[in-house]
Structures are given as C-alpha cells and as structure tokens.
Amino acid sequence: KAGVTQTPRYLIKTRGQQVTLSCSPISGHRSVSWYQQTPGQGLQFLFEYFSETQRNKGNFPGRFSGRQFSNSRSEMNVSTLELGDSALYLCASSLAPSGGASETQYFGPGTRLLVL
C-alpha cells in the first residue's frame, strides 16, 4: 500500500497570506490528524477528522482550520500567516478515530512551510 502523501512538500509564503496543505491517507484509513512540528514547541496536535467531521481540536487559533472530503483526503488551511507559523506540518492517518485509541497513526513526509 502507498503511504500517507502530503503536498506540497515545501512552501514559501509571506506574512498575511494564506496557505492550503493537502494530505492523502493510506488507502482504507478514514481518520486523519494534523500536527505542527517546530524546534521550540516540538510536535503539537492541531486537529483530527473522521467521516468529514472534526472530532478533536488542539490549542491553536482559529486561523488554523481543516476539512476532510468523502474520500478521506484532508486539507488544512492557515489564514493570515505569521512568522511563527513556519514549521513542518505533518499529517497522520489511522483506521479508526477516537475510541480506537490503540490504533497506530502513520505519518506522511510533511510539508515544510516557511513564512517570510
């Protein structure tokens, strides 16, 4: 099976712009989670989607949003970019969502976003 894919792999934006990142989960996986990785804060949970519904949300401002499509593909959007949004954004997929806490999340290669 193909792994989790994320596009684009690299992105450069300027402050105030918005950006959309895409994630395609492993075939058959219906849960998609997003994480932000920075040197200072480490890995932080953004949100989780299952069946096109947001099931869980981390402590990020409303500028960070996401959605999931009927084919389980997911996008996340960051509006009004700030310098501090520069990070590696990782998507992870699993078979089951909340309640299936033993499920393994498999990560994509990430999208590296640089905000200038």
Partner 1 sequence: AQSVAQPEDQVNVAEGNPLTVKCTYSVSGNPYLFWYVQYPNRGLQFLLKYITGDNLVKGSYGFEAEFNKSQTSFHLKKPSALVSDSALYFCAVRDYGNNRLAFGKGNQVVVIP
**Site for partner 1, rule CB under 8 A:** 4, 6, 31, 33, 35, 42-43, 45, 48, 55-56, 58, 90, 92, 94, 97-110, 112
Q: Beta strands 74-78 and 19-24: pairing type?
A: antiparallel
The secondary structure element, H or E, covering residue 80 is none
Q: Considering the complex, what minimum distance in angstroms separates the CB of residue 16 from partner 1?
A: 27
Q: What phi, psi does 71 have (nearest 5°)? A: -90, 10
Retrieve residue 107's tokens.
Answer: 């990560």
CB 73 within 8 A of CB 22: yes
